[in-house]
Amino acid sequence: MERTRDDTLYPPIEPYESGMLDVGDGNLVYWEVCGNPDGKPALVVHGGPGSGSTPRSRRYFDPDRYRVVLFDQRGCGRSTPHASDPATDMRHNTTAHLIADMERLRDHLNIDRWLLYGGSWGSTLILAYAEEHPERVTEAVIPAVTTTRRSEIDWLYRGAGQLFPEAWAAFRAGVPETSDPAGLVAAYARRMESEDAAVREKATADWCAWEDAVLSMEAIPGPPPYGSRPGREQLALVRICSHYFAHGAWLEEGRLLARAHRLTGIPAALIHGRFDLAGPLITAWELDRAWPDATLTVIDNAGHMGGTETRRAVLAALDGFARRG
């Protein structure tokens, strides 16, 4: 299918197949497939963690050439149990669990190898999966590169406060029980486990206000990306985010960069905005140097959420890999 311009998404499409995959521990993961049943397999790995998949992601893929799989990671979107429910046990929601879920989904759909697409937290999960199962990955397209090192988490929830001191002061004030600025994420994670709904809701609002502040310099049309989410989705997002980041995503510091040599032979397009304040460019630059078959494209006028030039680069990469077969 042809697009009218090189920055235009493909027309909306609907899934031709969907279901709930039992991944164990009482969890059911929602999945869907759209595009060409005989096309090149591709998996969309959403961000957050805890954002859930969106219909817009389907439109980056040529529906004539791709068999596109989307899924909602544990605890969010249409997967159950939902993290907005305080009774949901978060012990069974870790990076290792998500990697295993992806493998179970691949096997369930009888896919041998697939392209991986996703940014922000999605890029961390892509890297963790691909380094564990490089034989299952054909290519990767990664905008807004992150590896969720503790240093990256510290920048986002403490270091960036140097640029937005008023908003960060409000974020810090949301957890007065901790006097250590480095402990804010863990303090928010504890608040999201409170039995008091008002405590969880206040922590969610404070967290989302800070995330929106970090993105406030980007020209994002419409309402703020975090504060405008429905309440149930906000609660799940913040609970999952704080849970993962308080534990450093259960990854040894620097592990994904140190093991990038395992990705040798997997072509990748890394696309990153120079003015990404949520995930500074240095991480993408370091990954490009460590991954022999990756190519980094820096978008000079973009941030974390991207824009026209970022969209154009993602579409070009996906179209190019589709032609590769």
Catalytic residue list contains 57: no
Catalytic residue list contains 304: yes
Catalytic residue among 46, 97, 243, 304: 304
Catalytic residue list contains 276: yes
Nearest to 149, CA basis, from 255, 260, 280: 255
CA distance 212 to 274: 18
CA distance 45 to 69: 9
Catalytic residue among 51, 53, 84, 120: 120
Dihedral angle, C-alpha 130, 127, 26, 93, nearest 10 ° = 150
Residue type, 33: V
The alpha-helical segments, DSSP class H, found in the chain are 95-108, 121-132, 150-157, 165-173, 184-191, 197-214, 231-246, 255-258, 282-290, 308-324
Residue 234 contacts residue 208 (beta carbons within 8 Å)? yes
Catalytic residue among 72, 276, 288, 319: 276
The alpha-helical segments, DSSP class H, found in 72-222 are 95-108, 121-132, 150-157, 165-173, 184-191, 197-214
CA distance 59 to 44: 11
Residue type, 252: E
CA distance 298 to 276: 11
Nearest to 301, CA basis, from 219, 212, 209, 228: 219
User: Which residues are tagged catalytic?
Assistant: 120, 276, 304
